[in-house]
Amino acid sequence: MAMPDDDHPVAGRRPPYGQGRGRMAAGTAWAALLLGLWLWGRDLTDGGDLAKGPTTGDVAAVGRPLGQELPATHAPLATTPEGRPTEVAIGALGVRAGVVRTGLDATGAVDAPPYRTPGLVGWYAEGPQPGTAGAAVLVGHVDTTDRRAVFHRLGSVKPGQPVDVRRADGSTARFTVEDVKIYDRRRFVPRKVYGAREPGRAELRLITCAGTFDRERDAYTANVVVHAYLSKVTPAPRS
């Protein structure tokens, strides 16, 4: 499969909603491109700064408040045909969204959910299932040409807050947020984002776009990445 270069355009990118012709859901498009590059063994070191929020070097992080104890880690679940995610819920944001499978497109990037369905979240199905060992990846649009999208407020998630992922077998995997980071595209290190922090642990990454829309490069300048780990599993209700 041919590798896209750093300037490879993502189909459908436009100026953001609220800036000129309206904001678009390129958040996942850019995050997906980064993931695609990483999956094919290439690092990306290109981009700009986050428009809002603190930045230090290449990353701004919302860390755990001093003294806050996070739940213990739950043992990973087994990979099964019915372990695929069907819904993600982030109570702190009032988000409850369906999850669709995504894969790599012809450019080597991960397909995002269609722009016409900004309320859906995409799961990279070639990676781990949420709840199994490794870092499962969920991507969502930040906005579209005329409205806010599912991960519009993703950057406001706080450490310690839960993210629930319902699976096709009826079980629910609860993840606890460890931190929220904002990555400048110029110093983006994909393995730090997509690689598991602890070997054998079940982890989750929630990703969307951030920063400003760079009209010259036709892309956003940063990515919001929520890092979370499996802390609880609720079995499927008995019939």
pLDDT bucket at 38, cuts 50 / 70 / 90: very low
* pLDDT over threshold 80, residue 112: no
Beta pairing partners, 134: 202
* pLDDT over threshold 90, residue 24: no
Choose between 116 and 135: higher pLDDT. 135
The H-or-E segment that residue 101 falls in is strand 95-102
Closest by CA position to 70, among listed 203, 206, 193, 177? 177
Closest by CA position to 176, among listed 64, 94, 44? 64
- 230: helix, strand or coil: strand
Choose between 135 and 51: higher pLDDT. 135
Q: What are phi and psi of 63, to 5 degrees?
A: -90, 175
Choose between 81 and 17: higher pLDDT. 81
In order of their start, the domains of the chain are 26-149+159-234 (2.40.260.10)
Tokens, residue 58: 């290449």
User: Hey, which of 17-21, 40-44, 56-60, 145-149 has the most confident mean pLDDT?
Assistant: 145-149
Mean pLDDT of the chain, nearest integer: 76
Query: Rounded distance, CA 164 to CA 96, Å?
Result: 9
- 121: helix, strand or coil: strand
- 146: helix, strand or coil: coil
pLDDT at 218: 63
* pLDDT over threshold 80, residue 104: no
Q: What are phi and psi of 194, to 5 degrees?
A: -95, -20
The H-or-E segment that residue 130 falls in is none
Q: What is the mean pLDDT of residues 164-190?
A: 90
DSSP 41-110: T---------SSS--BTTEEEE-PPTTPPPPPPPPPBPP-TT-SEEEEEEGGGTEEEEEEEE-B-TTSPB
* pLDDT over threshold 70, residue 35: no
pLDDT bucket at 173, cuts 50 / 70 / 90: very high
* pLDDT over threshold 70, residue 31: no
Closest by CA position to 140, among listed 196, 82, 96, 181? 96
Query: Rounded distance, CA 15 to CA 66, Å?
Result: 39
Q: What is the mean pLDDT of residues 87-110?
A: 86
Least confident range from 6-20, 52-66, 96-110, 160-174: namely: 6-20
- 17: helix, strand or coil: coil
Element counts in the chain: helices (H) and strands (E)? 2, 9
pLDDT at 172: 98
pLDDT at 192: 77
Helices in 16-105 by DSSP H: which ranges?
26-39
